C-alpha cells in the first residue's frame, strides 16, 4: 500500500483493532493501533449500550480530511480510521485508528492527533442507554476545525 | 428591491442526533428569501425549535461548516449539526 493511504470510513457492522493491520506494509517499524470501546459507566450511571447517529456523507469527508492532515503533520507511512455507527453493546469497538511510521514517537503522536481530531470534528452523535431503560444524547463539543466552507 | 415581492425558495435542513428527536423528523422544510444567509437560517431555526438550540449552532452546507454570512442557494445540501460526540 502506498504511503499515507489507509482505509477510512464509517461501518454499521462490528469492527476490531485488527481490521486495518492487513493493509500495513511489512516494513513499517512502528505500528500503533488505538481502539476505543463502549464503556460500562458514564457520569455515575450504568451504561448498557450506545447508539451512534452520523451524517454519513460529511463524516466520510471529515475522516479523509483528518487522514490527510495527519499525513501532512507527521512522518507516517499509513493512517487508517474506522468509526462505528448504529447500536453497540458495552465492550464493543467504536473506533479504530492505526498508524505506522519508521519510529515509535511519530506513530504515537500521529495516532493521538487523529483520535483527538475524530473526537472534536467527526459529525457523529452518541446516545447512551442505561440500565433503568432511559436514554440520553451526550453533550458533545461544538464541531471545530475540519473542513470549512 | 421592493420587499413586497420577496422571492422565496424552499430550504430543507437535515437534522441529526438530539435535534432529530426534538423535531420528531429527519429534517425541516423552510421557506427562505433568495439571498438569505446562514445567520438568517439560524434565526428561522430558533423559531422552529424554540429553546432547543445553542445561540450559534453549527450549520453545514454541502458537507462543510458554513460561516454566518454565507448565502444560501436552492441547490445546497444543508444540515444542522449538534455538538459532536464521536470516539
Q: What is the ipTM of this complex?
A: 0.88
pLDDT in tens, A7-59: 999 999 999 999 999 999 888 999 999 999 999 999 899 999 999 999 999 99
**Does B87 fall in a domain?**
no
Host H or E run for residue A89:
strand A86-89
Nearest to A143 among B14, B20, B81 (CB): B81
pLDDT in tens, B19-55: 999 999 999 999 999 999 999 999 999 999 999 899 9
The pTM for the full model equals: 0.90
Searching chain A, which residue's CA lies closest to the CA of residue B79? A55
Interface A-B, measured as beta-carbon pairs within 8 A, has a size of 94
Most B CBs within 10 Å: which of A35, A142, A147, as the mutation test of the B interface?
A142
Alpha carbon of A1: minimum distance to chain B alpha carbons (Å): 26
Whether A34 has its CB under 8 Å from any CB of chain B: the answer is no
Searching chain A, which residue's CA lies closest to the CA of residue B70? A149
Whether A136 has its CB under 8 Å from any CB of chain B: the answer is no
Cβ pair A147:B66 closer than 8 A: no
CA dihedral B68, A120, A59, B43 (to 10 degrees): -30
The domains of chain A are located at 8-132
Give how many domains chain B has, as a whole number. 1
**Does B86 fall in a domain?**
no
Question: What's the number of CA atoms in the CB half-sphere (13 Å) around residue A86?
Answer: 11
**Does B58 fall in a domain?**
yes
CATH, residue B46? 3.10.20.30
pLDDT in tens, A85-125: 999 999 999 999 999 999 999 999 999 999 999 999 999 99
Overall fold of domain A8-132: Aldehyde Oxidoreductase; domain 3 (3.90.1170)
Pairing of strands A41-42, A45-54: antiparallel
**Does B77 fall in a domain?**
yes
Amino acid at each position: 500500500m502506498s504511503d499515507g493511504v489507509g482505509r477510512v470510513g464509517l461501518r454499521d457492522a462490528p469492527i476490531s483493532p485488527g481490521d486495518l493491520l492487513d493493509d500495513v506494509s511489512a516494513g513499517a517499524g512502528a505500528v500503533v493501533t488505538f481502539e476505543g470501546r463502549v464503556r460500562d459507566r458514564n457520569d455515575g450511571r450504568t451504561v448498557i449500550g450506545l447508539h451512534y447517529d452520523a451524517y454519513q456523507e460529511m463524516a466520510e469527508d471529515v475522516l479523509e480530511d483528518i487522514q490527510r492532515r495527519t499525513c501532512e503533520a507527521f512522518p507516517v507511512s499509513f493512517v487508517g480510521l474506522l468509526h462505528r455507527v448504529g447500536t453497540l453493546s458495552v465492550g464493543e469497538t467504536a473506533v479504530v485508528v492505526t498508524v505506522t511510521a519508521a519510529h515509535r514517537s511519530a506513530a504515537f503522536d500521529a495516532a493521538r492527533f487523529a483520535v483527538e481530531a475524530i473526537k472534536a470534528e467527526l459529525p457523529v452523535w452518541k446516545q447512551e442507554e442505561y440500565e433503568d431503560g432511559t436514554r440520553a444524547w451526550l453533550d458533545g463539543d461544538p464541531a471545530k476545525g475540519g473542513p470549512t466552507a | 428591491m421592493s420587499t413586497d415581492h420577496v422571492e422565496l425558495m424552499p430550504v430543507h435542513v437535515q437534522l441529526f442526533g438530539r435535534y432529530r428527536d426534538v423535531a420528531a423528523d429527519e429534517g425541516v422544510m423552510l421557506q427562505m428569501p433568495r439571498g438569505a444567509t446562514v445567520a438568517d437560517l439560524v434565526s428561522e431555526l430558533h423559531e422552529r425549535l424554540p429553546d432547543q438550540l445553542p445561540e450559534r449552532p453549527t450549520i453545514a452546507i454541502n458537507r462543510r461548516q458554513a460561516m454566518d454570512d454565507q448565502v444560501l442557494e436552492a441547490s445546497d445540501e444543508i444540515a444542522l449539526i449538534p455538538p459532536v460526540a464521536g470516539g
